[in-house]
Chains A and B, each alone.
Chain A
Amino acid sequence: MEGTAVQRRLSFRPRPWQVATVTGAVGETPSVRTIDLAVPDWPGHRAGQHLDVRLTAEDGYTAERSYSIASAPGDPVAITVERLEDGEVSPYLTEELRIGDQLELRGPVGGYFVWEATDAGPLLLVAGGSGIVPLRAIIRERQRSGGDASIRLLYSSRTLADVIYRDELDAYRDGIAVSYTLTRAQPTGWTGYAGRVDSALLAEVAWPAHKDPLAFVCGPTSFVETVAEGLVELGYQPNRVKTERFGASGGR
């Protein structure tokens, strides 16, 4: 056994960096952009995986960031990037990059925060800000695969204008229920939730634990901690609560 492992270690081929071409770029919100990529040697991906982007400056300095893949498996590769004010990579991706430009990337990577259409149980998806990106890939994969997993999505955003993919999310019907909570400001006549996600809101929106739901939580670190703890308090199995965190200094 040990010999086999060593053999495998010696013969491994790391997924190489390769050059992709930008085929589309669409603004989702004033600070968020979806970038479509043509990747010549893309092996296919799973819903929830990400890819690493590497930028190299003229002096050779490189910066790498990991971005969630926004598209469903089988569809062309797309990433959705939020501009961070002090970011090294995201301002370039959201403002400078043009159709036809080339970009160095590696992927797909990650196997933990991944949903397969064959996974059992109703799905609870909880997003904070741009944490919606991998969850949107999961919803699209459910649609694409013709699956019947019931989905509840709870999406926390600062304002309505900051909601990413709003038209798409609002259009989902059968078996997909979308709830928004707006933390900073709510428009007049807003009928969704207001304020940060807490135990009370989770208790109202999330599947009851006895249905053995599978939860995916993605957002800023503190958001993910609050939600994951809240779900476990509600009786969710910790190993059925998958989490992915990003910081203000990170990508995704």
Chain B
Amino acid sequence: MDTLDGNALAGLLAEVFGEDMTSVVVTCRTCGVSAPIGEAMVYPRLPGAVARCRNCAAMLMVITRIRGVCCVDMLGLDAAPLP
């Protein structure tokens, strides 16, 4: 499957966080590498949008929307990113 990058999630993330998140640097809990969200490996249209670490492919973030409610799982991040 083709992957995109975190730039493709800009609109969705802005909707969830209220501002641009693509240049926010996050740290992967699995491998410890830090990179802007814009660089993450993104599967935009699984059931939900999935962002994985470009270095180790571990899951960083999953965003699902069910009946208009967004559920954001950021368990793969070492610290909660604040814009």
Q: Which residues of A contact B (CB under 8 A)?
A: 5, 8-9, 12-15, 50-52, 64, 66, 106-107, 109-113, 220-221, 224, 242-250
Contact = CB atoms under 8 A, between A and B. Distances in A.
Contacts, number: 84
Given A110-B22, A221-B5, A242-B38, 8 more contacts: A14-B14, A52-B11, A106-B11, A112-B20, A246-B4, A246-B8, A248-B2, A250-B44
Interface string B1-14: 11111111011001
Contacts of A111: 10, 20, 22-23
A220 B5 CA distance: 10
- Top 10 closest A-B pairs, CB basis? A12-B18, A247-B2, A112-B38, A111-B20, A112-B22, A109-B10, A110-B10, A52-B11, A109-B11, A112-B23
A211 B62 CA distance: 39
Residues of A contacting B: mostly: mixed
B3 A221 contact: yes
B6 A112 contact: yes
29 contacts: A5-B82, A8-B18, A9-B17, A9-B18, A12-B19, A14-B18, A50-B7, A52-B11, A66-B11, A109-B10, A109-B11, A110-B20, A111-B20, A111-B23, A112-B6, A112-B23, A112-B36, A112-B37, A113-B7, A242-B38, A244-B5, A245-B3, A245-B4, A246-B4, A246-B8, A247-B3, A247-B4, A250-B2, A250-B8
Contacts of A13: 18
A5 B17 CA distance: 11
Contacts of B17: 9, 12
B8 to A, nearest CB: 5
B28 to A, nearest CB: 16
Nearest to A5: B82
A202 to B, nearest CB: 19
